[in-house]
Structure 1
């Protein structure tokens, strides 16, 4: 009876260990993370000229196409400036015509041998003509500037997007260069997935990925389009433009989280894409680890020993097979 109990206990223990290893291998076979979010470019549109807003052609959360009218700034001052520029150009052209006639008259008198025309008069007439020509060019440029400023009173969408958090209203004063409307660029949606640096060895650009949206559990296919070349950390003060993800606690060391960009091969059907929405990402590595389950476990234990300051021997080389065929020997991870 005791032998039966011992055998039963042994079988149960071995089964539990095998089941635990099977589950562990299933979880860690493909790199995955729950720390992933939908991301899109946010365009902060600003008017190019200042003035009172007299009309708003969009509403909050409205989809717009590139070139669609967003709002209109009061055109009165810019229309008057255009009329003044036209008048200045007409005046400059008249002055040029007078100067040309004067210069032509002096040239004709000189050719007839008139002694009443001095050489200095001819030179001065030619210089006056050149000055009038330059004035016409300046007037043309001023006219173009006035026309451009008038056209810019109509603020148009720079991208295909969705107007978000619209706070501007008719009667507000718009200042040139100050953002007044935010738009989510609908052509820029992608996934920012933060993977532990210890997972990067099995992630390659082009690897297929499965993106599960937290909102409804829908799964969409995608692929890895890039891995961040740098992240900000407390000791690095060279720039403030890099992302600064908080490291997550993993045993003794704090493993950094590195942004991996996922391009969606399709859009979700059941939910709209929202910048900042939460997703789970699972990467399907382009190489397959052929190590046995036991070898994987032992290599992981060796890695843990090394990460805590131990003197673990280096992991043996493991054979990896490409999903599309072919094989090669790469260091185990």
Structure 2
């Protein structure tokens, strides 16, 4: 029969041994079978906005609607954009007519140039004849000057017509429509108007679920202002572990995941990647001197790094982005490590029924 002092001493020894055993277990487990509750379901969220401003004419979706890539989400009133397309078509047609008018002017100017060249040629011959007659003193100096002036005027008319034709050719530009600068300008304006008209139908850029819809017919949607969010169907699970817990973790390492929303169910997963760093390791280039971290603690908090995981089996239902989870890593292939890690994560899955 043990005395009370002996019973107390035995309980003290058992408590100390249990504490040391548990302490040793947590040290080993944090390296070979680490577990973290800091895990979140992440899905790409795309803010959807119109590329042009306008009033909403129709809304084709509701909150939580499942959409496929290319589905029309909502439409803007297309009337002003159709008017812009018609105005662009008219401007392009007018530019073509203007070029035709320039072609006619060029043809007329070229005909005038030929006539002026013939006149200048005749005036030159007349001037040469008068020069010979003047040498024989058969014509007066006044008549010779008059003929010279007529010839110089006709030469000047030829030069003026050539300059006018050059100016018309420059204004006309390339004869090839594809290379004509003026027509290209109006074609670009028309294409932009047609593009804006097409953008009045706002389509899904990926498969996903509509969320935070803030639209109704008559609502003015400014260009670039998010009107709804499109949540991608693909699920990415991110988990934050202490740095030392990831010493033996690599891409492909087996894992298990328990979701708060699905207690009692353990899902198989694997590590797909790890982040190259965290915000605390990013220095902002601001022209200031560095500010070293200061701490009065003897042992500072451990840094946590982020890894990404993918499930090996489908979820029974889609979880919202931001849903919380617990992740168990299998850094060791040993049977004992597998047994205890499985025991840990199944215990957590049962505890999720309570909290």
TM-score (norm 2): 0.67
Q: 1:70 aligns with which of 67, 73, 79?
A: 73
What secondary structure sits across from 1:233 in the alignment? helix
d(CA) in 1 for partners of 2:231 and 2:48? 11
Check if 1:233 corresponds to 2:280: yes
- Contact 1:96 1:136 (8 Å CA) reproduced: no
What's 2:125 paired with?
none
Q: How do 1:305-320 and structure 2 match up within 5 A?
A: none
Higher helix proportion (structure 1 or 2): 2
d(CA) in 1 for partners of 2:170 and 2:279? 63
What's 2:50 paired with?
47
What's 1:321 paired with?
none
What's 1:253 paired with?
300
Q: 1:197 aligns with which of 243, 263, 266?
A: 243
What's 1:95 paired with?
98
Residue 24 of structure 1: how far off its partner (Å): 4.5
Deviation readout 1:130-161 (Å, 9 max, x if unpaired): 18942211111111111111111111111111
d(CA) in 2 for partners of 1:279 and 1:97? 72
TM-score (norm 1): 0.71
Cα 1:51–1:114 change in 2 (3 A) is farther
What's 1:167 paired with?
214
Cα 1:26–1:47 change in 2 (3 A) is same
d(CA) in 1 for partners of 2:29 and 2:332? 17
d(CA) in 1 for partners of 2:181 and 2:26? 81
d(CA) in 2 for partners of 1:83 and 1:190? 47
Residue 205 of structure 1: how far off its partner (Å): 2.1
Check if 1:208 corresponds to 2:251: no
Check if 1:285 corresponds to 2:328: no
What's 2:169 paired with?
126
- The RMSD of aligned alpha carbons is 3.5
Residue range with higher mean Cα deviation, 40-49 or 252-261: 252-261
Deviation readout 1:29-52 (Å, 9 max, x if unpaired): 312211101001110011011111
Q: How do 1:320-331 and structure 2 match up within 5 A?
A: none
What's 1:329 paired with?
none
d(CA) in 2 for partners of 1:84 and 1:33? 63
Check if 1:263 corresponds to 2:310: yes
Cα 1:57–1:109 change in 2 (3 A) is same
Residue 210 of structure 1: how far off its partner (Å): 1.4
d(CA) in 2 for partners of 1:81 and 1:111? 45
d(CA) in 1 for partners of 2:170 and 2:284? 59
Residue 201 of structure 1: how far off its partner (Å): 0.9
- Contact 1:31 1:203 (8 Å CA) reproduced: no
- Contact 2:88 2:193 (8 Å CA) reproduced: yes
Residue range with higher mean Cα deviation, 20-29 or 87-96: 20-29
Cα 1:237–1:136 change in 2 (3 A) is closer
Residue 105 of structure 1: how far off its partner (Å): 4.3
What secondary structure sits across from 1:170 in the alignment? coil
Cα 1:44–1:233 change in 2 (3 A) is same
Residue 79 of structure 1: how far off its partner (Å): 1.1
Residue 65 of structure 1: how far off its partner (Å): 0.7
What secondary structure sits across from 2:57 in the alignment? strand
Bigger RCO of structures 1 and 2 (CA < 8 A, at least 6 apart)? 2
d(CA) in 2 for partners of 1:30 and 1:161? 35
Residue 26 of structure 1: how far off its partner (Å): 8.0
Residue 121 of structure 1: how far off its partner (Å): 2.9
Q: How do 1:104-183 and structure 2 match up within 5 A?
A: 104-107=107-110, 114-115=118-119, 118-130=161-173, 133-183=180-230
Deviation readout 1:62-115 (Å, 9 max, x if unpaired): 011111101111111111111111111110000111212332444466578655
- Contact 1:31 1:202 (8 Å CA) reproduced: no
